[in-house]
């Protein structure tokens, strides 16, 4: 597979990377096999996170004896020095490695969180100390907020930025990707399939291939899925007329009624995690059902059912989404799915 330079890290990585969220759903044996298949197909960039339950450990097992051939990226969502130091220690242990190629601050989407990361003697200082000691090679950041991502890039303290990017969440193409180029920050595209909203893989990837200097992360759980994507990346990359037509159709269909997870609608009057509720369908495809129906999505849906209809969130949404209507649709969908799951468990 072709390699690309990941911004100022100067690391040469495969032109697509592996995203370690979906392997949490598999058995350990299946997960290890999927990761190994990806490496066999030439994927050298493997991304995971401290918060992805079993993912680091499984990737660690898959790379045993092959460490030198891969680039390991992981993340910490901690917002203080001690927390980052603890997460780093845990990641090294779970991955079974003595250094991490790219250490990222996870989900920095609020101004106060960026401030905490940058604080003197805070998380970034901890990562930089580990970098000096050779335990971390490079430092990056991940975000869902356009403004915070731009601010982070402009600090010149991060070597990579991970941000959602696909043809229906294409806003980064206008200013954020050019800004990353200007600062030589490697752009890693998360959600190439819009978190499961796009199921036309050829169209989704051919769009991303228009940007040869970005690294799309592919979250897959079946070997045949990655084989299809690798064939696409290595094959003729031009979109044909039918594919372009399909892309336009999907943009029209989803583009106006699709949550971008920017969180500008917050704070909700009754603390509903609006973006989580609005994108919950994609989690069902990626999370073990017992976690989906019993964990934070369940809690979020309970809160969502208590929406007081104040409408304040809609005034703040830059995409003019009918948030109340969409929340009600998602709550009804979730309750239906939960009922079906309950019946399956009983049977
Ligand atoms: S309309 Fe509902 S979701 Fe929106 S801010 Fe009010 S309570 Fe929260
Ligand atoms: S509902 Fe609107 S403001 Fe809220 S996260 Fe989604 S796109 Fe952003």
pLDDT attached to residue 309: 96
Please say if the pLDDT value at position 196 is more than 70: no
Report the percent of the chain where pLDDT is more than 90: 70
Are the CB atoms for 145 and 151 separated by under 8 Å? no
pLDDT attached to residue 320: 84
Tell me the ligand closest to 262's alpha carbon: 2
Q: Is the CB of 323 under 6 A from ligand 1?
A: yes
Which of 263, 278, 309, 317 maximizes ligand 1 atoms within 8 Å of its Cβ, making it the mutation to test the pocket? 309
Q: Which residues contact 132 (CB under 8 A, 6 or more apart)?
A: none
pLDDT tens-digit map of 167-181: 988 989 999 999 999
CA atoms lying within 13 Å on the CB side of residue 258: 19
β-sheet bridge partners, residue 5:
12
pLDDT attached to residue 295: 83
DSSP state of 185: P
Q: Which residues contact 170 (CB under 8 A, 6 or more apart)?
A: 207
pLDDT attached to residue 86: 98
Q: Is the CB of 313 under 6 A from ligand 1?
A: yes
Helix, strand, coil distribution of the chain in percent, nearest 5: 50, 15, 35
Give me the sign of the Cα torsion angle 68, 71, 75, 80: positive
Per this entry, what is the length of the chain?
Answer: 347
Report the percent of the chain where pLDDT is more than 70: 98
Are the CB atoms for 165 and 218 separated by under 8 Å? no
β-sheet bridge partners, residue 4:
13
Hey, what are 66's tokens? Answer: 């092959």
Are the CB atoms for 204 and 166 separated by under 8 Å? yes
Name all residues whose Cβ lies below 6 A of ligand 2. 259-265, 274-275, 278, 317, 319, 321, 323
Which of 109, 168, 255, 264 maximizes ligand 2 atoms within 8 Å of its Cβ, making it the mutation to test the pocket? 264
DSSP state of 21: S
What spacing in Å lies between the alpha carbon of 267 and ligand 2's midpoint? 11
pLDDT tens-digit map of 81-129: 999 999 999 999 999 999 999 999 999 988 999 999 999 999 999 999 9
What spacing in Å lies between the alpha carbon of 312 and ligand 1's midpoint? 6
Please say if the pLDDT value at position 289 is more than 90: no
pLDDT tens-digit map of 261-276: 777 788 999 999 999 9
Hey, what are 65's tokens? Answer: 């004896």
Please say if the pLDDT value at position 296 is more than 90: no
Are the CB atoms for 123 and 83 separated by under 8 Å? yes
């Amino acid at each position: 597979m072709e390699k690309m330079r990941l911004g100022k890290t100067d690391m040469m990585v495969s032109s697509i990377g592996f995203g370690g969220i979906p392997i949490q759903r598999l058995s350990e044996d299946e997960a290890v096999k999927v990761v190994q298949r990806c490496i066999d197909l030439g994927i050298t960039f493997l991304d995971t996170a401290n918060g992805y339950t079993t993912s680091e450990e499984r990737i660690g097992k898959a790379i045993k004896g092959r460490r030198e051939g891969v680039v390991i990226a992981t993340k910490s969502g901690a917002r203080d020095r001690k927390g980052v130091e603890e997460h780093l220690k845990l990641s090294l242990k779970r991955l079974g490695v003595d250094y991490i190629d790219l250490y990222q601050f996870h989900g920095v989407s609020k101004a106060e969180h960026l401030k905490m990361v940058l604080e003197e003697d805070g998380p970034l200082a901890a990562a930089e100390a580990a970098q000096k000691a050779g335990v971390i090679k490079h430092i990056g950041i991940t975000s869902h907020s356009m403004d915070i991502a731009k601010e982070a890039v402009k600090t010149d303290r991060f070597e990579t930025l991970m941000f959602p990017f696909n043809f229906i969440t294409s806003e980064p193409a206008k200013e954020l990707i050019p800004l990353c180029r200007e600062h030589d920050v490697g752009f890693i595209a998360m959600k190439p399939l819009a978190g499961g909203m796009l199921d036309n893989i050829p169209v989704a990837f051919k769009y991303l291939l228009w940007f040869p200097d970005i690294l799309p992360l592919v979250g897959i759980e079946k070997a045949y899925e990655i084989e299809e994507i690798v064939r696409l990346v290595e094959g003729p990359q031009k979109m044909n007329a039918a594919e372009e037509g399909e892309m336009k159709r999907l943009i029209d269909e989803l583009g106006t009624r699709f949550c971008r997870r920017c969180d500008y609608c917050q704070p909700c009057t009754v603390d509903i995690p609006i973006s989580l509720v609005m994108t919950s369908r994609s989690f069902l495809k990626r999370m073990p059902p017992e976690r989906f129906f019993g964990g934070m999505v369940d809690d979020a849906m309970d809160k969502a059912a208590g929406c007081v209809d104040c409408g304040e969130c809609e005034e703040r949404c830059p995409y003019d989404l009918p948030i109340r209507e969409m929340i009600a649709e998602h709550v009804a969908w979730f309750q239906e799915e939960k009922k079906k799951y309950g019946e399956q468990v009983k049977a």
